[in-house]
Amino acid sequence: MTGLRKIRVVLVDDAPQAINMLLFYLKRFENLEVVETFTSALAALEWLLEHQVDLIFADIDMPELTGIDLMKGLINPPRVIYCTSHREFAVESFETHPIDYLMKPIAYDRLQQAVTWAMESILGLKLEQVQVKEPYLFVKEVESMAAVRIDIDDIVYVQAEKNICLFKLLNREVRTRKTLKEIRERLGDENFMMAERSFLINKQLIVRIQDSKIILRGLQHGIPIGPDYAPAIREFVDARLW
């Protein structure tokens, strides 16, 4: 959901696998930014007393400090969504005014609804249910006519070639009969940008810019920067230049 500021998120759970599960699902929400994860509630408390975030996903039954006590220990607590296997903490948790109380294993539709409520509360907006971007897509390959999975993070660039497009991935290439305009609309502009009329590049894989060319991870050759697209690329780089 473009146009909205990023919501800074912290995950707290003594089970690493629970944190990994949340990381996997939350990366689909483009307006959420997970800034830290903790398997120790005490470590999370110390960090949160020094840093500001918007939202915490917290387990409740943890050995050093419960998720509820963690929230009570914060001077200006952010919003919280509890993720727990224990229904018996529900009444006590209401003292900290949680946005939601999710039971493990967490159903994805419930997580999506909780994120929508969190965004409404934090941003002060009324939203339709938050739409998420799947971390992959399927395209019909020209050569085999098979439906081939493409992980979006693996896309280095997409190049228009006459009436087909080439997906250059980190480890392979896939050609499909889609227009570059269609692919650009599908991928969005958070991680992708035009470098030249026939090249859509992954901004996160830029390694070097020199002599009007962009070097992307895994490439030996540079991609030319078209004059119409140079200002946007320069703005992207300058905003991150030290």
The residue ranking higher by pLDDT, 146 or 124, is 146
Residue 159 contacts residue 153 (beta carbons within 8 Å): no
Residue 3 burial by CB count (10 A; 0-12/13-18/19+): exposed, middle or buried? exposed
pLDDT of residue 120: 87
Which pLDDT does position 128 carry in this prediction? Answer: 57
Mean pLDDT value across residues 159-179: 92
C-alpha–C-alpha distance, residues 119 and 237, integer Å: 29
Q: Find out whether 102 and 86 touch, Cβ atoms under 8 Å.
A: no
Distance separating alpha carbons of residues 116 and 99, to the nearest angstrom: 10
pLDDT tens figures, 92-140:
999 999 999 999 989 888 998 999 999 888 988 765 545 556 678 899 9
pTM given for the model? 0.57
Please write the tens of the pLDDT for every residue from 178-212.
Answer: 999 989 888 888 789 999 999 999 998 998 888 88
pLDDT given at position 3: 60
Peptide bond before residue 63 is cis, with ω within 30 degrees of 0: no
Structure tokens at 82: 């509890």
**Two tokens at 19?**
């944190």
The per-residue pLDDT for 242 is: 75
HSE value, Cβ hemisphere, 13 Å, CA-based, for 233: 25
* Top-confidence residue, 127 or 171: 171
Summarize the confidence of residues 226-236 as an average pLDDT.
Answer: 88
Give alpha helix (H) positions in the chain.
16-26, 41-48, 67-72, 90-93, 108-123, 180-187, 230-238
Hey, what are 130's tokens? 């938050």
In this prediction, residues 133-158 reach a mean pLDDT of 88
pLDDT of residue 1: 52
Tokens found for residue 228: 């119409």
* Domains and their CATH numbers in the chain: 7-123 (3.40.50.2300), 136-238 (2.40.50.1020)
158-186 average pLDDT score: 91
87: three-class secondary structure by DSSP: helix
| Spatial distance between the Cα atoms of 219 and 113, rounded to a whole number of angstroms | 40
Residues in a beta bridge with 164: 161
Reported as a single tens digit per residue, the pLDDT across 17-72 is: 999 999 989 988 888 999 999 999 999 999 999 999 999 999 999 998 999 999 99
Q: Please state, in angstroms and rounded to a whole number, the distance separating the CA atoms of residues 32 and 27.
A: 7
